A and B are shown apart, each in its own frame.
Chain A
Amino acid sequence: MDPSQILTAILLTPLVSAAIICLFLRRGGYVAAAVSVIAAFVILVLSFYWLFNWDGMEYTCGDSALTILQFGGFEVNIGYLFNYEAATMLAVVAFVGFWIHVFSVGYMDDDKDKGRFFGGLSIFMFSMLGIVLADNLFMIFIFWELVGFSSYMLIAHYWDKDFAADASKKAFIVNRIGDFGFLVGIVWAYHFYGTADISAITEIIHNDPTKAIDGIGLLLMCGFVGKSAQFPLQVWLTDAMAGPTPVSALIHAATMVAAGIYFMVRIFALLTDFTLDWILWSGAIMTTFAGFCALGQTDIKKSLAYSTLAHLGYMASAIGLGFPGLAIMHMAMHACFKATLFLCSGSVIHACHHEQDMFKMGGLFKKMPITAIAFFVATLSISAVPFTAGYYSKDTIIASSWGLYAANHEGIYLAAFILTMLGALLTALYMGRMFFVVFLGKSNGHGAQHAKESSFWMTVPLIVLGWILSLGAGWFVQNGLDGTWADGKMTALIPTDVAHFMVDGFHGEHNGWEGAHEIYEEAHAPWVEYISYACIIGGFAFCWFFYGRGAPEDRLQKSAPGIYHVLERHGWFDDLYDWYVAHVQQRFANILGVLDLLLISGLAVRGTASVAGLVGLVCRSLHVGSLHAYVYWFLLGVLIFWAFAFGIL
C-alpha cells in the first residue's frame, strides 16, 4: 500500500465504525462497544505498521490531495502532511486511544447508552486523526470543529443531568470564542500567503522571515487558547469533567486539549518572537495558577483537570521557549501519565459507586492494589521524579528555561523558570495530597468501604499505561530510540530538536535530556537541580504531615477557609464571565432583539411580505372565472403584442 492509502485507511476506519454504530447499533450495547474497540485496534495496527515503515522523511501527498470544494482559484483540500510531530501524535492517539477504548468497555458496563458513547468515541478518533494528519489550515479547521462537536457530545453523555448539559454547552461556546479568532487568522493567512498549505507557508517564511507577522500568529493562537484551555479561556475544562471518566482521560487530558499544542508546533514557523513571549507568559503563569487551584478542589477529577491545565502550561512554555519538539515530547509523556491518573480515578469512582469526593474515599490501596500502584507510579511520573516518564520532559522544560536565562539574562526566562519550578512544587503538593487521601489510611465513605478491584477490562489498560509507560516511556525514548531498537526505524519518533537539544552558549558533551541537565554544571549552578529534588520531596513530605493519610476532610479548608475559598473559586473567572454575559452581553442582545423585531422582522420581513401579499391579492382577483372576461384578456393581449409589432411600446 502506498502511504496515502494507509493514512486514508487510518483516517476512515473510525468514521466507518461511527457510521455503523450510528445507523445500526444505536441501541447495540456491547456490540457497538466491540465495533468501536475493533476500529481502535485497527487504527493501532495500521498506525504502527506505517510508523515502522516510515523513512523519517517529511511526507506530503502533494497534488494527489482530494479537493472537496472549489470556487474559482480557491480550493479546500483533504491532504496529509506527515513529519515527526505527526508521528509522535499519531502514536499517542492510536496507542492511548486504544487502551482507553478497552478501559471504557469495563467502565461503561452499567450504562444504558453504550451505542451513543462508543459511536461518539469513534467520531472523536476520526476527528482527532484528521487534525493529526491535516496538511492545510482549512482541513485542520474542519476537524478542529469536529473534535469540538465530539467533545460536546461526550461531555453531555449524561444529558439528563443539568450540570452535564450545562458543561457541554459551556465547553462548546468557550471553544467557539477561540475558534472565531482562529478562523479570522486562517482567512488572513490565506489572504497573506496565498495558500493555506502548512508546508508551503513554512517554506515562504523560511525564505523570507519577515513574512511572519504578529497578527496572524496571535489570531491562530486563539484556536490553541480555546482548545487547550489556556488563559483566558481556561474555564471550560474543569466543567468538562462532567463527562464519563474515559472521555476525560482521552479527550480532556491526553489528546484533544493537546491538539492546541500540536497545532502551535505545526505552525511554529509562523510564530514571531512577540507571539512566543506571549505564549511563554501565559503558559508559565498557568503552571502555577492551575497548580494552586488544584489544591482547592475536593472532586478528584476536577483536581486532575487543573493539573492538566498546569501541564498544558508546561507544553506552552516549551513552545514559548522555542523548543517545539520538547512540547511534543511532554505532550506524549503527559498523555501516558495523565491518562493513567484519569483512568485510575475512573476505576476508583466506578468502585466507589460514582463517588467523586476524595475525602469520602481513603484506604483504597489494600482494596484496589493494581489501581493504586498505577496511580502511585503516575504520581511519581507527573512530579518528575528522576527516570520516570515525566522527568525527561518536564524537568527538561524547567532546565531549558533556566538555561536560556543563564545564557541571555533576560527577565522573562527567569520568570518562566521561577513559575515552572513553583509549578513543580505545586504538582508534588496536589498529587501527594490526592494519593495520600485517596489510597492510604482508612476508608471514609460507604462506597470506599465496599470497594473492590476493578475488572480485567479496566486493570489491563492501567497496567499498560500506568505500570509500564508512566514509568518507563521517558527512559525508553532516551535510551531505546537512539538507533538500536527496531533497527532504528522508530528514531524519527524523537523530535530532532529534542535529540539534539542544546541551548546556544553551552557546549555540553551530551545531546538531548542529559545535555539539558549538563547546563547546570556548566553554569556552575548545580543547586538548581537540587531545588527541583527538594520541591518533590518537600511537597510529598508536607502533604504526608499536613493532610494526613485518608483524611476525612481538607485540613486547609478547616484551618484557613479564606485561602481555600480563593483557591476553590479559581480566581473568580467564572463569576466575571457570568457577570459579563448577564449584564453586558445580555443587555446588548436585548437592544439588538428590539431592533430586530422592529426593523428586520417588522419592516423588512412583514413589510415586504404584506406588499407582496397585497399585490398577489390584486393579481388573483383578476382571475374572475368568467369566460367573457378571459376572452377580453386574450384580445387585450393581442393588442399589446401588436403594439410591440408597431413599435408603440
Chain B
Amino acid sequence: MNLEAFQAFAADNQWGVLWPELSMALLAVLLLVIDLFAAPLRKSVIPALALGGQAVILVILVLSFGCAAVGDYFSQMVNLTTLGQVFRVFFVLTSLLVCYVGWVYLQRQNLPRTEFFALTIMIAAGMMILGNASNFVMLFVALETVTIGFYVMVAYARHSPYSLEGGLKYLIMGALSTSLLLFGIVLLYGAAGNPSLPHYTGDGLSYANLNNFIVANPDNLLVLVGAALVLCAICFKIGAVPFQIWIPDVYQGAPTPVTAFLAVGSKAAGFVVLINLLRGPFAALEAFTFPLLAAICAVTILFGNLTALGQRNVKRVIGMSGIAHAGYLLLGVLALIKGVDWAVWAIVFYLFTYLFGSFAIFGVMAHLAGPDDENQELEHYQNLAKNQPFLAGVLAIGLGSLAGIPPLAGFIGKLLLFIAAFEARLYSLLGVAIIGVVISIYYYFGWIREAYFKTLEVPPDEASGETARPYPHPRSLSLAHRLLLGALAAFTVLLGIYQGAFGSSPF
C-alpha cells in the first residue's frame, strides 16, 4: 500500500469525533493509575474523581450536542448519528448514576473500590461506541468490551455465593450468546460474499454493504439464519423471552449498582443496536423480523409481568418488571419497523424515564441494603414511610413512574409508545400491553403498600420489653444524597409534566 492510498484511508480517522469515548476510557485509566501510585488517596479522591470527571464529560457532551458532524468515520466503522449522540448522553448519565449507587454500596462492603469505578466507566465507553457502530467488527468489539466488563462486575462481591453464582451464570450465558452472535455474523458475511448472488460484496461486515446485499437477496436462507442468530444475541441483551432466563438469578446475585447497570445500561445498549440494525442492514427483512418481534413482544410483556407477581425479592421484582419494560420498548421497535419514524424518539424518551425511575428505586435500595445486599425482601420496606419519609417518597415516585401513573414521566413514556403502536395499527399488541400495565400496577403498588401502609407486628421482646426492629432503616441521610435522589424524583415528575420536543413528536 503506497503512502497516498494510506493517507486517503486515514483521512476520515477523525479521533476528535470519539472524544467522549476516549475521555471516558482515559478517566478509567487515570483512576487505575492513581490507585497504583497514590494508594493513600484511594478512599477520598477516587470516588470524587470518578463522579466529578463523568459529570464534567456529561456537561460538555450536553453543551456541545450537535456540534460533531453526522456521518461516516473510520472507513465506515463508525457512523455518527443524532440517535447515537443521544445515547452517548444516556450512557454517560447511566454510568454516572451507577457510580453513585456503587459509592453508596461500597461504603457498606469490604471490597476494592477503584476497579468498580474503572470497570463501570470502561463499560460505558463500550456502550457509547456500540451506539454508533456501523460495522459488525466494531459492534462485536464494543459488545465484548461491555460483556466482559459485566462478567467481572456481576461477580464483584466475591465473598457472596450469590454474586459468584450469578457471575458464573452470566459468564456461560453471555459466552453462549456471544457465540451465537459470532455465528450469525459469519453466516451473513459468508452469504454476502457469494459471487453468484447479485450485489455481492467483499466487505460483508459493513452495514452499508450488507444492506445493499440484503435488499437484493431478502429471501436468502443463509441471510435469514444468520440474522436470526444475531437477533438471538440482542434479545439476550435486552432480556426478551425466551432469552430472559438468566435475568432473575443474575440480577439477584449481582451487587445492587451492577443490577442497575444491567437493567438500564445493558438493556438500552441492546435496543440501540437493535434499532440500528433494523433501520440498517435488516431493513429489508421486515417479512421475517416483524412477526418474530411481534410474537416476542407479546410473550415478553405477559411473561415479565406475570412472573413478577409472586416475587418477594425486590431485585427479582425489578428484574422481571425489566423484562416487561423490554416488551413495551419492543412495541416501539415494531412501530418503527412499520414505518412510524418518530417511534424511535418515543423509545428514547421511554428509556430516559426508565433511567430516572429505576435509579430512584436503586438509589433507595442501595441506602436500605444491609451487608447481605442480595437478599432484599419486600418485607424490609415495611414502615419505611414512617421512618424515612424522604426515601419512601422517592421510592413511590420511582415505582409510580415505572407503573405509568400520571402525572409521572413513565405515564407519558408509555403513552408515546402506545400512540406510536396505534399509528402503526398494532391494535392487538396494544391490548396485550395494556393488560400487562394493569398487572404491573399490582406488584408495583404492592411494594408501595409495604412502604406506606403495612405496619409490622413485632411481638415485644419479653426480656427487655422493647420492640425489636428487625430491619433497621438508616436514621439520617446527608444532604448530598438527598439532593441527588431528590433530583431523580424531580426529573421524574418534571418529565411527566413537560416533555419539551418529545411531547410534540407524535403530533
Binding site for B on A (CB under 8 A): 609, 612-613, 615-617, 619-620, 622-623, 625, 627, 629-631, 633-634, 636-638, 640-642, 644-647, 649
Interface locus among B113-121, B170-178, B385-393: B170-178
- The 6 A-B pairs of least Cβ separation, nearest first, read A616-B309, A645-B224, A637-B242, A641-B228, A616-B306, A644-B292
Per-position 1/0 for B252-291, Cβ under 8 A of A: 0000000000000000000000000000000000001001
Asked if A646 meets B295 with Cβ closer than 8 Å, knowing A613-B310, A619-B303, A634-B245, the reply is no
Report B-chain residues with C-beta under 8 Å of the C-beta of A627.
168-169, 172
Partner of A640, one of B242, B248, B439: B242
Report whether B242 and A623 are in contact in the complex, using a CB–CB cutoff of 8 Å. no
Are B173 and A630 in contact (CB-based, < 8 A)?
A: yes
Name 14 interchain pairs, CB-CB below 8 A, sorted by A.
A613-B309, A616-B306, A616-B308, A617-B310, A620-B307, A630-B172, A630-B245, A631-B172, A637-B242, A638-B229, A641-B231, A641-B292, A644-B288, A647-B288
Which residues of the partner chain B approach A612 to less than 8 Å between Cβ atoms? 306, 309, 439, 442
Q: Which residues of B contact A646 (CB under 8 A)?
A: 221, 224
* A625 contacts B243, C-beta separation under 8 Å: no
Interface residue B62 (Cβ < 8 Å from any Cβ of A): no
Asked whether any CB of chain A lies closer than 8 Å to the CB of B145, the reply is: no
Cβ of B309 and Cβ of A644 under 8 Å apart? no
A630 touches B310 (CB 8 A): no
Q: Is B180 an interface position by the 8 A CB rule? A: yes
Number of A-B contacts (CB under 8 A): 84
| A635 (CB) vs chain B CBs: closest residue | B176
Nearest neighbor of B293 in chain A, beta-carbon distance: A644
Tell me whether A623 and B231 are in contact (CB under 8 A): no
The 8 Å CB contact of A637, one of B168, B243, B288, is B243
Residues of B within 8 A of A647 (CB): 288
Whether, in the assembled complex, B249 has its beta carbon less than 8 Å from a beta carbon of chain A, the answer is yes
Q: How far is the CB of A40 from chain B (nearest CB, A)?
A: 33
Give, as a whole number of angstroms, the nearest-CB distance from B211 to chain A.
18
Q: A612-B439, A649-B295 are known contacts. Are A642 and B228 too (CB-CB below 8 A)?
A: yes
Q: Is B13 an interface residue (CB 8 A)?
A: no
Question: Closest A-chain residue to B172, C-beta based?
Answer: A627
Q: A644-B291, A645-B224 are in contact. Are A637 and B232 (CB under 8 A)?
A: yes
List chain B residues, Cβ under 8 A from A622.
245
Interface residues of B in 108-133 (CB under 8 A from A): none
Inter-chain contacts of B168 with A (CB < 8 A): 627
Contact of B249 among A625, A637, A645 (CB under 8 A): A625
Q: How far is the CB of B310 from chain A (nearest CB, A)?
A: 5
Known: A634-B173, A644-B288. A619 touches B306 (CB 8 A): yes
Q: State whether the Cβ of B342 lies closer than 8 Å to any Cβ in chain A.
A: no
Question: Chain A binding site: helix, strand, loop or mixed by DSSP?
Answer: helix
Q: Tell me whether B225 is interfacial, beta carbon within 8 Å.
A: yes
Asked if B246 is at the interface (CB within 8 A of a chain A CB), the reply is yes
B217 on the A face (CB < 8 A): no
Find chain A residues with CB under 8 A from B224 CB: 645-646
Quick one: CB contact mask for B467-492 with A, threshold 8 Å, 1 for yes? 00000000000000000000000000
Contact between B243 and A634, CB atoms less than 8 A apart: yes
A642 and B225: CB pair below 8 A?
A: yes
The residue of chain A having its C-beta at the shortest distance from the C-beta of B169 within the complex is A627
| Contact between chains at B225 and A630 (CB < 8 Å) | no
CA distance A641 to B168 in the complex (A): 26
What is the bound-complex CA distance between A649 and B292, given in angstroms?
Answer: 9
Give the docked Cα–Cα distance between A395 and B306 (Å). 74
Residue of A nearest to B310 (CB): A616
Cα–Cα distance between A637 and B303 once the two chains are bound (Å)? 15
| Residue from A616, A630, A642 whose CB has the most chain B CB atoms within 10 Å | A616
The answer to whether B169 and A645 touch across the interface, beta carbons within 8 angstroms, is no
Minimum C-beta distance from A644 to chain B (A): 4
Q: Which residues of A contact B229 (CB under 8 A)?
A: 638, 641
Q: How far is the CB of B214 from chain A (nearest CB, A)?
A: 13
Give complex CA distance A345, B442 in Å. 56
Contacts of A625 in B (CB 8 A): 249
* Closest chain A CB from B290 CB (angstroms): 10
Between B172, B303, B309, the greatest number of chain A beta carbons within 10 A of the residue's beta carbon is seen for B309
Q: Which residue of A lies closest to B180 (CB)?
A: A638
- Contacts A619-B303, A644-B228, A645-B224 hold; do A630 and B169 have CB atoms under 8 A apart? yes
Could you tell me the distance between the alpha carbons of A637 and B299 in the complex, rounded to whole angstroms? 13
Q: Smallest CB-CB separation from A617: which chain B residue?
A: B310
Take A642-B225, A645-B288, A646-B224 as given contacts and tell me if A636 and B309 are in contact as well, using a CB distance cutoff of 8 Å.
Answer: no
In the assembled complex, the Cα of A595 lies from the Cα of B18 at a distance in Å of 66
- Among residues of A, the one whose C-beta sits closest to the C-beta of B227 is A645
Chain A residues near B245 (CB-CB < 8 A): 622-623, 629-630, 633-634
Identify the interface centre among A622, A625, A638: most chain B CB within 10 Å of its CB.
A638
Closest to A619 in B: B307
Distance from A619 Cβ to chain B, minimum over Cβ atoms (Å): 4
B235 at the interface (CB under 8 A from A): yes
Contact assessment for A620 and B311 in the assembled complex, using a CB-CB cutoff below 8 Å: yes
CA distance A645 to B173 in the complex (A): 23
Q: Considering the chains assembled together, what is the distance between the CA atoms of A636 and B248 in angstroms?
A: 19
Most chain B CB within a 10 A radius of its CB, from A609, A625, A644, A646? A644
Chain B residue at smallest Cβ distance from A634: B176
Give the docked Cα–Cα distance between A16 and B283 (Å).
Answer: 58
Known contacts A616-B306, A630-B169, A637-B235; A645/B177 CB under 8 A: no
A646 to B291, CA, bound (A): 12
Q: How far is the CB of A630 from chain B (nearest CB, A)?
A: 5
| A636: chain B residues within 8 A (beta carbon) | 242
How far, in whole Å, are A629 and B248 apart by their CA atoms in the complex? 14
A645 and B191 alpha carbons, distance in the complex (Å): 15
Contacts of B243 in A (CB 8 A): 633-634, 637
Residue of A nearest to B309 (CB): A616
Residues of A within 8 A of B303 (CB): 619
Least CB distance, A253 to chain B, in whole angstroms: 40
Most-contacted residue by chain A among B245, B249, B292, B439 (CB, 10 A): B245
CA distance A392 to B501 in the complex (A): 62
A275 CA to B306 CA in the complex, in Å? 58
Task: Chain A residues near B221: list those with CB within 8 A.
Answer: 645-646
**Chain A hits for B227, CB < 8 A:** 645
Q: A616-B307, A644-B295 are in contact. List 20 more A-B contacts (CB 8 A).
A: A612-B309, A612-B439, A620-B311, A623-B307, A627-B168, A627-B172, A630-B172, A631-B172, A634-B177, A634-B180, A634-B236, A636-B242, A637-B242, A638-B180, A641-B228, A645-B221, A645-B227, A645-B292, A649-B291, A649-B295
B295: chain A residues at CB < 8 Å are 644, 649
> From residue B155, how far is it (CB to closest CB) to chain A in Å?
14
A634 CB, min distance to chain B CBs, angstroms: 6
Query: How far apart are B224's CB and chain A's nearest CB, in angstroms?
Result: 4
The smallest beta-carbon distance between A618 and chain B, in angstroms, is: 8
Q: Write the nearest CB–CB distance from B232 to chain A, whole angstroms.
A: 5
